Structures are given as structure tokens and as C-alpha cells.
Amino acid sequence: MSEEWSVLRLMRWTADFFRQHGIESHRLDAEVLLAHVLACKRVDLYLAFDQPVAPADRDRFRELVRRRAKERMPVAYLTGTREFWSLALCVTPDVLIPRPDTETLVRACAQLAPRRVVDVGTGTGCVAIALARELPEATLIGVDVSAAALAVAAQNLIACGVAERVALVRCDLLEGVDGRFDLIASNPPYVCSAELERLAPEVQQEPRLALDGGADGLDVLRQLIAQAPAHLVAGGHLALEVGDGQASAVAELARAVGATEIQLHRDLAGAERVVVACFGA
């Protein structure tokens, strides 16, 4: 990376380097990391494509490129941010990186227009924050067993202007939550334990606590579904993000504890991604 390297040449070289290291999103990752280092938007890179990159910026960029290619560190952890629901959220290795699939959960929940909501396993706070923005009359609680995750969520609540409407509680699922709610929402761990080692190297860098759903991927889902009826008002809803092929099993678990109506919501890829169960009249 010599003094003569321009923005465009650096992007092209990095994209090719990433491709050689088996990174599918090689061009996108190169653009995101360089834009992060230069404190600009990706589109601005092409407006200044012929500009040289300063040595100090090249040094910072070189280290990010190394960690992305050699350590397979997720881009979101390298930049410290991830967009979700058109919001820029802080992320750290203490939290699961928000994904587009989880926006399906937000859409399904927002349609219910609940007034009291608890988000179980809040992580970055992405679901609670998105719902707070979509439901200005709602009050929300975000719970997580990880103190480190709650610290990240607290930072995001402040940045997104909803800190006064979303309370944070440290507990395991619903064990430390009092009262009844119109909606319980959750993106729980649902990956089968045996599958964890076969996940992409980037995903394996994310918190195991947020991924590992036990032998069949349903351990945490079973616990949460069993707890839910005691924390819902009559006619309340439980909305769960689930893994591919799990929707039917999760629906049956909900029916077994009294769900009277089940709705399935598909993600943008067509997979049954969210199970919404209604309890009571």
C-alpha cells in the first residue's frame, strides 16, 4: 500500500484480497471498512475515487483488512456498528449482530399494536428500539442475562432517543420480570449445538450464548414458551424468531401450553421465520 494508492485502487486491491481469502462479500466489505476509516459514506468513496489515502488511514485500514481476512472477524465488530431498521446501532463481540431476518420479527410485532412489550434476549436492543420507534404509545422492557449485552443496549437506547421508554432488566428469560404484557417478543438462541462448529467462521465469533439452542435448537424456545402464558394478558401474543424448519415444532409447543391462534410470517427469502401465538380471548 504505497503513497500513490488512491481510494479506488485500494478498494479494488482489498476486494481481490478478500476474494482470495474466501470472503463472499469481498467488494462490500472492502467498501464498508474503507468508508469507516475515512469517516464517510460508501457512496462518497466513488465521489473521491482518485484521491490518495493518507498513510495513517492506510495503516488503520491495513489492520482492519488483516483482521477481516486472517481472523474472519465480522465487519460489524470491526466498525462497531450495524444498521437495523434504518438505525445505526452499536455492536460489540458481547452481542449478536442484528440481521435482516429479525426485521421480520419487528414487522410482525408492530402489526399487533401492543401497548406493553417485553423483548427477551434483547442483545443490542434492536427489536425493542425498532418497536419503540414504530409504536410511540408503547412502553417496553428489554431483558438479557448478559450484563455486557445490556450495557450495549443501554448505549443504543440513548443514541436512538428511546431510553425513557425502554427499561432494561438483567434476568434469565422471564424469571425476573413482573406483570403481564400485551406482547412478548424474542429472537432466542435456536441453532442446534452440533451445527455450531459448522457455521461460518464469522458467525462463530458471535456469543455462543446467543446462538446455542441445545441438541435440537429448541431448548430456550421451550423454556420461554412455557413461561409466556403467566406473563401475558388475555389475548396477548408471543412472537418468536425461529430457525429454518423449526416453525411447525414451535407452533406445536405453543399450542401445548394454551395458544389459541398461530400465525407464521415468512422472511424475504421465503422461509417461515417468525411464529406468533395468541393466548386467550
Say how many Å lie between the first and final Cα of the chain, rounded: 66
Domain ranges of the chain: 7-71, 94-279
Q: Are strands 232-241 and 181-186 parallel, antiparallel or unpaired?
A: parallel
Per-residue pLDDT of the chain (281 residues; tens, 9 = 90+): 445 789 999 999 999 999 999 999 999 999 999 999 999 999 999 888 889 999 899 999 999 999 999 999 999 999 999 999 999 999 999 999 999 999 999 999 999 999 999 999 999 999 999 999 999 999 999 999 999 999 999 999 999 999 999 999 999 999 989 999 999 999 999 999 999 999 999 999 999 999 999 999 999 999 999 999 999 999 999 999 999 999 999 999 999 999 999 999 999 999 999 999 999 86
DSSP labels, 37-49: HHTS-HHHHHHTT
CA pair distance 258, 278, nearest whole angstrom: 9
Q: What is the pLDDT of residue 208?
A: 95
- Asked if CATH classification 3.40.50.150 holds for the domain at 94-279, the reply, yes or no, is yes
Task: Give the whole-angstrom CA distance, residue 216 versus residue 160.
Answer: 36
Phi and psi at residue 76, to the nearest 5°: -60, -35
Distance CA 50, CA 83 (A): 28
Say how many C-beta atoms besides its own lie within 10 A of residue 39's C-beta. Answer: 8
Question: In what helix (H) or strand (E) does residue 183 lie, and over which residues does it extend?
Answer: strand 181-186
Q: Report whether 206 contacts 96 (CB < 8 A).
A: yes
pLDDT of residue 70: 95
* Burial per residue of 122-144, b for 16 or more beta-carbon CB atoms within 10 angstroms, e otherwise: bbbbbbbbbbbbebeebbbbbbb
Instruction: Take residue 266 and report the three cell numbers written for it.
Output: 415468512
Which residues sit opposite 82 in a β-bridge?
A: 89
* Neighbour tally for 147: CB within 10 Å: 9
CB neighbourhood size of 259 (10 A)? 22
Cα angle 205, 206, 207 (rounded to 5 degrees) comes to 120
Measured CA angle at 50 (ends 46, 54), to 5 deg: 105
- The SS3 call for residue 243 is coil
pLDDT of residue 281: 62
Give the integer Cα–Cα distance in Å for 190 and 244: 10
The confidence score (pLDDT) of residue 109 equals 98
